[in-house]
Amino acid sequence: MIGGGYVGLVSAACFAEFGLDVAVVEKDPNRLNALKKGNIPIYEPGLDLLVQNNIKANRLQFFETIKEAIPDCKAIFIAVGTPPRNGDGHADMTYVHQAALEIAKHLQEYAIIVTKSTVPVGTSRRIAQIIRKENPSLDFDVASNPEFLREGEAIQDFMTPDRIIIGIEKDRKDRAQKAQEIMSRLYQPLFQKETPILFTNLESAELAKYASNCFLAMKLSYINELADLCEQVGGNIEEIANAIGLDSRIGKYFLRPGPGYGGSCFPKDTLALIRIAQEAGTPSRLVEATAQANDARKANISGRIIQLCGGNVHNKTITILGLTFKPNTDDMRESPSIPIIHRLVEEGAQIKVFDPVGNEKAKPLLPNTVQYFDRINDAANQADALIILTEWNEFRSLTPKTLKNWMKKPLVIDFRNIYDPKVMKSENIHYYSIGRPLKE
Annotated binding site for substrate: 148-151, 209, 254-258, 262, 326
Q: How far is the CB of 80 from ligand NAD (least distance, A)?
A: 4
Rounded Cα gap, residues 132 and 124, in angstroms: 12
Toward ligand NAD, which CB reaches closer, 3 or 259?
A: 3
Per-residue b/e over 382-409, b at no fewer than 16 CB within 10 Å?
Answer: ebbbbbbbbbbeebeebebeebeebbeb
Residue whose beta carbon is closest to ligand NAD: 5
Per CB under 6 A, 79 contacts ligand NAD: yes
Residue 186 parent element (H or E): helix 173-186
**CB-based contacts of 133, cutoff 8 Å, min separation 6:** 104
Toward ligand NAD, which CB reaches closer, 95 or 354?
A: 95
Site map (CB under 6 A) of ligand NAD, residues 30-49, x = contact: -x------------------
Summarize the annotated binding site for NAD(+) as residue ranges: 31, 82, 118, 151, 268, 333
Coil, strand or helix: which one is 435?
coil
Which of 18, 21, 28, 156 forms a contact with ligand NAD (CB under 6 A)? Answer: 28
Which position among 214, 230, 265, 309 bears the catalytic label? 265
- Quote the DSSP letter at residue 19: T
**CB-based contacts of 301, cutoff 8 Å, min separation 6:** 259, 260, 336, 340, 415
Toward ligand NAD, which CB reaches closer, 6 or 261?
A: 6
Per CB under 6 A, 330 contacts ligand NAD: no
Q: Are 320 and 341 in contact (CB under 8 A)?
A: yes
Q: Beginning with the edge strand found earlier in the chain, give each strand of the sheet holding 140-144 in spatial order.
A: 75-78, 111-115, 140-144, 164-168, 197-201
**Sign of the CA dihedral 278, 282, 283, 287?**
negative
Toward ligand NAD, which CB reaches closer, 7 or 434?
A: 7
Toward ligand NAD, which CB reaches closer, 6 or 199?
A: 6
Which of 20, 50, 93, 99 forms a contact with ligand NAD (CB under 6 A)? Answer: 99
3-state helix, strand, coil in the chain (%, to 5): 45, 15, 40
Q: Are 3 and 80 in contact (CB under 8 A)?
A: yes
Counting residues that bind ligand NAD (by CB under 6 A) gives: 26
* Dihedral (Cα; 150, 166, 77, 120), 10-degree rounding: -80
Per CB under 6 A, 164 contacts ligand NAD: no
Site map (CB under 6 A) of ligand NAD, residues 112-151, x = contact: -----xx----------------------------x-x-x
Which of 12, 13, 22, 26 forms a contact with ligand NAD (CB under 6 A)? Answer: 26
Per CB under 6 A, 265 contacts ligand NAD: yes
Annotated catalytic residue 265: yes
Per CB under 6 A, 25 contacts ligand NAD: yes
Residues that bind ligand NAD (CB under 6 A): 2-8, 25-28, 31, 79-82, 95, 98-99, 117-118, 147, 149, 151, 264-265
Active site residues: 265
